[in-house]
Amino acid sequence: MTLSLAALKLLALFAAPDASAFADALATPAPHTCRWSFPGGTPATSTSCAPPPVRYTTPGPKPVTLTVCATSPNGPCSTVTKPVAVLDPRPVVVDFKADPPEPYAGDTLHLTANATGKPPFTWLWNLPGAATATTNPAVLETARLTPGLFAVRLRAANFFGSASRTFYLRVQNPKPVLTGLSLSTTTPGIGTVLVASPNLTGQPPFTFLWTLDGYRIGTERTLAWEVAGFLPGPHTLALRVANTSGFASLSRIVTVQQPVILDFRPVCPNLICLFTVGTPVTFNLYLAPSAQPLRFEYDWMGTGTFAEVSPAPISHHTYYQPGNFRPRVRVTTATGAEVHTASQFLLVSLGS
């Protein structure tokens, strides 16, 4: 006869005066005998199929062996060994978390601790501002705290002992503070896009107001403004940020540049700028008097590819396929490159 054994179940606690019961489940037909082995435990062995509680003096994995034998003549025996995790009942504070995790002065915090050991626990929190709490989670009011780094000391205790641990909690300043403005350029040209964003601390949500010489030009966190309506020269770019705790302002000087390219246009024989395939088209490129161009690049098809490069302006181009085109030119100077799109579309047809 083959004997089958059900799963072993053991829960024992180190130094527990009332060690939990050791229970087994057997699926072997009666009559049968049982023989248990508990190395390192007390008792170390048992011949009862319902063994007494077992106590261990150290925590860790412990092997437990059960042998079941049928009582019939020459009855076969079956043996199984399984590890049992013996837990340490003494408390150990593992960690804690704050909600919200990045608090600002004025927030109500909920502090939750995790501890190992045998429940139930008692808790004692020593909190910033000479406050204490005996619950888990604990509540901390930060309205009277000055922003900074604070120590939070927690003591967890049970029947077997106690453990303490100190954590650190940073309470942030809710007021907006502007530490800088990042600009795509401080010398934007008329018709180009100026991109600016703040280096900012404080508690959201914020409102933003960008101004140039006092004129409102944006209300988003990141400014993307096409420079227009201002004469070349220095101007004051300013940002004002506000929230429910206050406001902050910061400004930078930007120097608006006269554009290198004033205009780029085809010379059209009629109002609709109609040409036939194979006919040269004349283009006029107007540059600022102070411009010192180094290179000219042309995207005759208007597809985004500047396929023709020249050290001097190119005044003619011939289209060998029909279509609707709006070419572009890119002029490079010592200070950078500027792109200008033709002010008029061209319609090139096969002709009559």
pLDDT tens per residue across span 196-240: 999 999 999 999 999 999 999 999 999 999 888 888 899 999 999
> Average of pLDDT values for 65-86?
86
Q: How far apart are CA 236 and CA 212, in angstroms?
A: 6
> Average of pLDDT values for 142-162?
95
pLDDT at 14 over 80: no
Least confident of 11-25, 105-119, 200-214: 11-25
Q: Can you give the pLDDT at residue 91? A: 95
Least confident of 35-39, 95-99, 258-262: 258-262
Residues contacting residue 296 through CB under 8 Å, at least 6 positions apart: 285, 309, 310, 311, 312, 313, 314, 329, 330, 331, 332
pLDDT at 73 over 80: no
CA-based radius of gyration for the chain? 41
DSSP 3-state assignment of 79?
strand
Q: How far apart are CA 209 and CA 230, in angstroms?
A: 18
Q: What is the pLDDT of residues 237-296, one digit of tens each?
A: 999 999 999 999 999 999 998 888 989 999 998 888 999 999 999 999 999 888 899 999
Secondary element (H or E) of residue 213: none
pLDDT at 337 over 80: yes
Q: Can you give the pLDDT at residue 28? A: 54
What's the topology of domain 92-171? Immunoglobulin-like (2.60.40)
What's the topology of domain 5-86? Immunoglobulin-like (2.60.40)
Q: How far apart are CA 32 and CA 46, in angstroms?
A: 14
Domain boundaries 177-256, CATH class = mainly beta
> Average of pLDDT values for 25-32?
60
Burial 212-250 (b: 16+ CB within 10 A, else e): beeeebbeebebebebeeeeeeebebbbbbbbeeeebeb
Percent of the chain with pLDDT over 90: 70
Q: Can you give the pLDDT at residue 30? A: 67
Q: What is the pLDDT of residues 119-135, one digit of tens each?
A: 999 999 999 989 999 99
Q: Does domain 261-349 have CATH number 2.60.40.10?
A: yes
Sheet holding 323-325, edge to edge: 274-276, 346-349, 323-325
Same CATH topology for 92-171 and 261-349: the answer is yes
Q: What is the pLDDT of residues 299-326, one digit of tens each?
A: 999 999 999 999 999 999 999 999 999 9
pLDDT at 10 over 90: no
Q: Can you give the pLDDT at residue 29? A: 60
Percent of the chain with pLDDT over 70: 91
pLDDT band per the 50, 70, 90 thresholds, residue 335: confident
Are 344 and 325 within 8 A, CB to CB?
Answer: no
How many CB atoms are closer than 10 A to CB 135?
Answer: 9
Domain ranges of the chain: 5-86, 92-171, 177-256, 261-349
pTM above 0.75, yes or no: no
